[in-house]
């Protein structure tokens, strides 16, 4: 099973600041890496797939990068609606696995 490790667990930032979230895979997942955004009481939403392709409905301030085992989600300037928990997930091999999440909270 591929283990996904996210860091940091919590990111405390102010609106307007930039955020950098990291995700590491225990073995290569090529570019088969997705990011999801989850707000309290809601289902997760697909945010990024193919490591760097934004899903429908998300603005350009969200960007993803990386391949192999190291991945990054960058939010260029945090808006109030961006404070949420973000999960990475690999879909290169079975079983599909998620990281433990990074909470982006208001400082």
Partner 1 sequence: QITLKESGPTLVKPTQTLTLTCTFSGFSLTTSGVGVGWIRQPPGKALEWFALIYWDDDERYSPSLKSRLTITKDTSKNQVVLTMTNMDPVDTGTYYCIHTQEFYPFDAWGPGTLVTVSS
Within 2-31, the residues that bind partner 1 by CB under 8 A are: none
Q: How far apart (Å, rounded) are the C-alpha atoms in residues 97 and 107?
A: 30
Within 27-66, the residues that bind partner 1 by CB under 8 A are: 32, 34, 36, 42-46, 49, 55
Residue selected from 52, 61, 72, 96 as contacting partner 1 according to rule CB under 8 A: 96
- Grouping H, G, I as helix, E, B as strand and the rest as coil, residue 96 is coil
Segment contacting partner 1 (CB under 8 A): 20-28, 57-65, 66-74, 83-91?
A: 83-91
Strand-pairing partners, residue 102, are 86
Q: How far apart (Å, rounded) are the C-alpha atoms in residues 50 and 10?
A: 24
Q: Which residue has the tokens 């808006």?
A: 79
* Burial of 61: CB neighbours in 10 Å, binned 0-12, 13-18, 19+: middle
Among residues 16 and 41, whose Cβ is nearest to partner 1? 41
Assess 99 for contact with partner 1 (CB under 8 A).
yes
Which residues would be at the binding site for partner 1 (CB under 8 A)? 1, 32, 34, 36, 42-46, 49, 55, 87, 89, 91, 94-101
């Amino acid at each position: 099973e591929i283990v996904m490790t996210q860091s940091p667990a919590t990111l405390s930032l102010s609106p307007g600041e930039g955020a950098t979230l990291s995700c590491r895979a225990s073995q290569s997942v090529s570019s088969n890496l997705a990011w999801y955004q989850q707000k309290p009481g809601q289902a997760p939403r697909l945010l990024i797939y193919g490591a760097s392709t934004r899903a429908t409905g998300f603005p350009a301030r969200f960007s993803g990068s990386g391949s192999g085992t190291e991945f990054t989600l960058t939010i260029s300037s945090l808006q109030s609606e961006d404070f949420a928990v973000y999960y990475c997930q690999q879909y290169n091999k079975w079983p599909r696995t998620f990281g433990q999440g990074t909470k982006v909270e208001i400082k």
